[in-house]
Amino acid sequence: MKLFGKLVNFEFRRFLPIYITLLAVVFLIQAASVVFHAFVMKSDITESVVKYGMSKEQFLYDNGLVSMVNILPGFMFTMPIVIAAVTIFIYILFIWYRDWLGKNTFIYRLLMLPVKRIQLFFSKGAAILIFVFGLIAYQIAILPVLQLILKMIIPVDYRQDLTAQGMIRSFYYLKLLLPEHFIDFIINYSFGISFVILLFTMILIERSYRFRGIIMAAFYGIGALILVFSPYILQVILEGYFYENELLWMQFAIAIIVSIISIFFSNHLLNRKIRV
C-alpha cells in the first residue's frame, strides 16, 4: 500500500505543473468574464438611471437584479471548464504513452518495481480521479471569490448575492458533477470511472499488440460501448417496454461488469503480453 501511494504521488507530481497552470487559466478567464459582465451591467445602470433618469424600481422591473446567475451560463465563463476537461481527457491517453517515450523508456523501470503490475493501472486511475475532484473542488472554492468581484463593481441595490449552494445549482456543469442526490453522484462517477478503465484497457491492448492492437482496441471499445448502451437498443426493439430508471440501472450494471472484465483483461496484458 505504501508503494502504491508513492506511485499515485509520482503520477500526480508529473502532471502538477500543467495542472497548476490549468487552474490559473480557469480563474483568470472566469474572473475576466465576471469583470466584463459586471462593467457592462454597471454601464447600463449608469446610462438608464443617471443619464436618462429612470427610477431604480423601473430598471429592476425591466432588467432584474444582477447576480452570478447571469454570468455562470455564459460561454466565456464555461469555456475554461471545457478546456480543463479536454486537457484532463488528453492526459488520460498520454499518461500511459509517456512512459514509452524517449530513448530510455521509463516503462522498463515501472515494470521492474517490486509491486503487482495492476497497481500501476490503479495508480494512474487514482491520479486522474484526484485531478478531476481537485478541479471540481477548486471551482467551488473560487465561486465566492468571483462573486466578491461582482459585489465590488455592482451597487448593492442592483445586485442579488447567492449562497455557494445557489451558485452551484445555477452552474450547469457543477450541477451535473455534483448532483443533489448521493445515488446520482455514485452513478455519474461510476460511469466516468468505467470510461477511464475502458480507455486504459484499449491503450494496453494497443501497447501489447502494436499495429494489430489498434484494430483490436477499436473493436474492444466499440463492443464495450454497444454493451453499455444495449438496454436502450433493446428499449427501441421492444417499443418502450422498460421504465427510464430500469434502463439506467441496467446500463449501470453492464458498465460495472464491463469495468471488472476490463480490469482482469488489463491485468493479464500487463503480466503476460505488454511489450516495452
Between CA 201 and CA 266 the distance in angstroms is 6
Residue 86 cell numbers, joined: 479536454
Q: pLDDT digits over 160-188, tens only?
A: 888 888 888 877 777 777 787 788 888 88
Between CA 179 and CA 177 the distance in angstroms is 6
Is the pLDDT at 103 greater than 60, yes or no?
no
Sign of the Cα torsion 34, 39, 44, 46 reads positive
**pLDDT reported for residue 1:** 66
**pLDDT reported for residue 216:** 93
**pLDDT reported for residue 93:** 84
Is the pLDDT at 101 greater than 80, yes or no?
no
Question: Which alpha helices (H) appear in 229-243, and where do they start and end?
Answer: 230-237
Q: Which of 57-71, 84-98, 145-159 has the lowest mean pLDDT?
A: 57-71
Tell me how crowded residue 204 is: count the other CB atoms within 10 A of its CB: 23
The pLDDT of 154-164, averaged and rounded, is: 84
**pLDDT reported for residue 102:** 57
Between CA 188 and CA 190 the distance in angstroms is 6
Q: Is 66 helix (H, G, I), strand (E, B) or coil?
A: strand
Q: Chain centroid to CA 58: how far?
A: 42
Residue 18 cell numbers, joined: 500543467
Residue 274 cell numbers, joined: 505488454
Contacts of 113 (CB under 8 A, 6+ apart): 3, 7, 120
- The mean predicted confidence, pLDDT, of the chain is 86
Q: How far are the Cα atoms of 165, 177, 183, 186 from residue 180, in angstroms, in the given order?
A: 10, 10, 9, 11
**pLDDT reported for residue 99:** 76
Is the pLDDT at 134 greater than 80, yes or no?
yes
In a 13 Å sphere around the CA of 155, the CA atoms on its Cβ side amount to: 10
Between CA 206 and CA 216 the distance in angstroms is 7
Q: pLDDT digits over 28-82, tens only?
A: 999 999 999 988 888 888 887 776 777 777 877 777 788 888 888 888 888 998 8
**pLDDT reported for residue 265:** 94
**pLDDT reported for residue 29:** 94
Is the pLDDT at 10 greater than 60, yes or no?
yes
